[in-house]
Amino acid sequence: MGRSPCCEKAHTNKGAWTKEEDDRLIAHIKVHGEGCWRSLPKAAGLLRCGKSCRLRWINYLRPDLKRGNFTQEEDELIIKLHGLLGNKWSLIAGRLPGRTDNEIKNYWNTHIRRKLLSRGIDPATHRPVTEVSEKKEEKAAVVELGQEASSWQCPDLNLELCISPPCQEPVRKEKTTLCFSCCSSECKCNASLGLSAGVLDYRN
């Protein structure tokens, strides 16, 4: 079963908070503390959602909230923490007393991202923009090669081998004699030159 809603939406005020509502919320929390946000609106006499009361208190009415612009030290700390933690704004806000996670997130998107880009630094990776673009190009090239390799298909090869004896017997060649004098196999002049069957006979 899902969690039941913290209040009845039909009987709650929406929109901007009034000065009277802020005063009631502050007075109740000063006396009773934050407590359970689901039951706080009814106890404080507010026709508001518990979530709305919590966000109003944390982001606007807390006495320890730091007002005004962010300092240079806060900027550098946010950049350093973002490099370590990424977009975990609640953890980053825990290191900056008096600043809320929503405030830091909005400040990051509107100011610090532009500041990093003007320095030539990628806000997501905190590395030089040229290095990040080179890595993106390398990654795109690898993806393109992978797509080409996947689109290319090896042709079907028939790897079945057949071994069989030769179908015909080799033709036997008869020995022929060749005359060294006239280069003819049917020559009769070899008797006078001392040749017998194409072989020189030194004895004659």
Which tens digit of pLDDT belongs to each residue from 107-143? 999 999 999 999 899 988 888 888 756 666 666 666 6
Domains 10-61 and 68-140 share a fold: yes
**Is 171:161 a contact under the CB 8 Å cutoff?**
no
In this predicted structure, which of 4-8, 30-34, 99-103 has the lowest mean pLDDT?
A: 4-8
Q: Which CATH architecture has domain 68-140?
A: Orthogonal Bundle (1.10)
Q: What mean pLDDT comes out for the span 100-107?
A: 92
| 16 CA to centre of own chain | 42
Choose among 78, 80, 85: nearest CA to 111: 78
Choose among 83, 99, 101, 80: nearest CA to 91: 101
Return d(Cα 143, Cα 35) in angstroms, integer. Answer: 54
Task: List alpha helices for 16-112, DSSP H.
Answer: 19-32, 40-44, 50-56, 72-85, 89-94, 101-107
CB atoms within 10 A of CB 154: 5
Q: Indicate the class that CATH gives domain 10-61.
A: mainly alpha
Which tens digit of pLDDT belongs to each residue from 189-200? 654 444 444 455
Domain ranges of the chain: 10-61, 68-140
Which tens digit of pLDDT belongs to each residue from 138-151? 666 666 666 665 55
DSSP secondary structure letter of residue 121? B
Share above pLDDT 70 across residues of the chain, in percent, rounded to a whole number: 58
Return d(Cα 13, Cα 49) in angstroms, integer. Answer: 8
Which tens digit of pLDDT belongs to each residue from 40-50? 999 999 999 99
